[in-house]
């Protein structure tokens, strides 16, 4: 199962990705998480040691690997390259580990189309996203903010798009656009997660903005979270949030999304 976590910048995508992974791992599910945002926050959000974080090279910048697999040097215009590069060993070779059950891959972003010079990187990353399927594992992609990347084929192969929306008009607008574009791409399951929900008014406002049944969870606003930043363990997840994740995971299971 492949899930893409999308939404406006700052909506809570990375935080949601970390909580969902920790929650699933706690209940003995195997999870592979992909950092598909150019800010590469996910290793920080998982609380990995500084030296590990400093040593990370995103797949998008592994020029030698991309050349070896595609037959073309990244950034060289007009090169010929293989359309189906070998990618099945990438997870095993390059994943970071968060505990026993979570593997983390820092992908970097699929570059802007145009100019013709980013082709071998993009072919490599798209192949990676398409073929990365590990039996009995849940794959979670923490995507770049906004909608612009959707046109670059970042989420074409996922089964589910979760749009993270705060109860504010701009966040909701981005989530609605993402859902519309994902529908056009033919993605099966389109769901919404309310984020930083502080009141009953917030809940009903969000409910009014999305089709019935599309909201499968409302993560409460937790004031201490921003200051604390890192929640690297299941035990560190605030109780109110943990309770809501129990509901979210149940909903995801009921709808056969995970
Ligand atoms: N449920 C929440 N309650 C309070 N603050 C939150 C919550 N979820 C996320 N945040 C805070 O919001 C900010 C942006 O979250 P982040 O997950 O990095 O967003 P994104 O990945 O969508 O850009 C962070 O400071 C984070 O701690
Ligand atoms: Mg993020």
Is the pLDDT score of 67 beyond 90? no
Q: Does the Cβ of 202 fall within 6 Å of ligand 1?
A: no
What DSSP letter does each residue of the chain carry, written as one string?
A: -EEEEEESTTSSHHHHHHHHHHHHHHTT-EEEEEEESTT--HHHHTT--HHHHHT---GGG-HHHHHHHHSS-TT-TT----SS---TTHHHHH-EEETTTEEEEE---PPPSSSSTTHHHHHHHHHHHHH---TTEEEEEEEPSSSGGGGGTSSTT-SEEEEEE-SSHHHHHHHHHHHHHHHHTT-SEEEEEEEEE-SHHHHHHHHHHS-TT-EEEEEEP-THHHHH----SGGGS-HHHHHHHHHHHHHHHHTT--
pLDDT of residue 53: 92
Instruction: Tell how far the Cα of 241 is from the centroid of ligand 1, in angstroms.
Output: 12
Interval 186-244: pLDDT, tens:
998 999 999 999 999 999 999 999 998 999 999 999 988 877 666 668 888 889 999 99
Instruction: Tell how far the Cα of 41 is from the centroid of ligand 1, in angstroms.
Output: 12
Interval 143-159: pLDDT, tens:
999 998 888 778 888 99
Instruction: Tell how far the Cα of 101 is from the centroid of ligand 2, in angstroms.
Output: 21
pTM for this structure? 0.93
pLDDT of residue 230: 67
> Between 78 and 96, whose confidence is greater?
96
Q: Does the Cβ of 103 fall within 6 Å of ligand 1?
A: no
pLDDT of residue 190: 97
pLDDT of residue 117: 42
* Share of residues in the chain with pLDDT > 90 (%): 58
Q: Does the Cβ of 19 fall within 6 Å of ligand 1?
A: no
Q: Does the Cβ of 43 fall within 6 Å of ligand 1?
A: no
Residue bearing the CA closest to ligand 1, atom 24: 226
pLDDT of residue 133: 66
Looking at residues 75-86, what average pLDDT do you find?
Answer: 75
Looking at residues 3-29, what average pLDDT do you find?
Answer: 95
Q: Does the Cβ of 245 fall within 6 Å of ligand 1?
A: no
Instruction: Tell how far the Cα of 176 is from the centroid of ligand 2, in angstroms.
Output: 18
């Amino acid at each position: 199962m492949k899930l893409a976590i999308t939404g406006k910048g700052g909506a809570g995508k990375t935080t949601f990705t970390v909580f969902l992974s920790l929650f699933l791992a706690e209940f003995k599910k195997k999870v592979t998480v992909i950092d598909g945002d150019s800010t590469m926050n996910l290793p920080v959000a998982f609380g990995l040691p500084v030296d590990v974080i400093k040593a990370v090279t995103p797949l998008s910048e592994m020029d030698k690997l991309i050349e070896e697999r595609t037959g073309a040097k990244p950034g060289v215009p007009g090169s010929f390259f293989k359309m189906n590069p070998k990618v099945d060993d990438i997870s095993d070779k390059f994943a970071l580990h968060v505990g026993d059950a979570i593997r983390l891959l820092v992908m970097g972003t699929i570059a802007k189309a145009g100019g013709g010079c980013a082709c071998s990187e993009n072919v490599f990353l798209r192949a990676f996203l398409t073929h990365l399927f590990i039996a009995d594992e849940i794959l979670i992609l923490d995507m770049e903010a906004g909608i612009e990347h959707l046109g670059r084929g970042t989420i074409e192969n996922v089964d589910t798009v979760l749009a993270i929306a705060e109860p504010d008009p701009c966040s909701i607008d981005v989530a609605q656009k993402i859902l519309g574009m994902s529908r056009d791409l033919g993605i099966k399951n389109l769901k919404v997660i309310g984020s930083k929900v502080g009141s009953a008014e917030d809940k009903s406002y969000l409910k009014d903005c999305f089709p019935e049944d599309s909201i499968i969870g409302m993560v409460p606003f937790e004031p201490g979270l921003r200051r604390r930043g890192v929640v690297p363990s299941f035990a560190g997840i605030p109780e109110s949030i943990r309770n809501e994740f129990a509901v979210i995971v149940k909903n995801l299971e009921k709808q056969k999304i995970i």
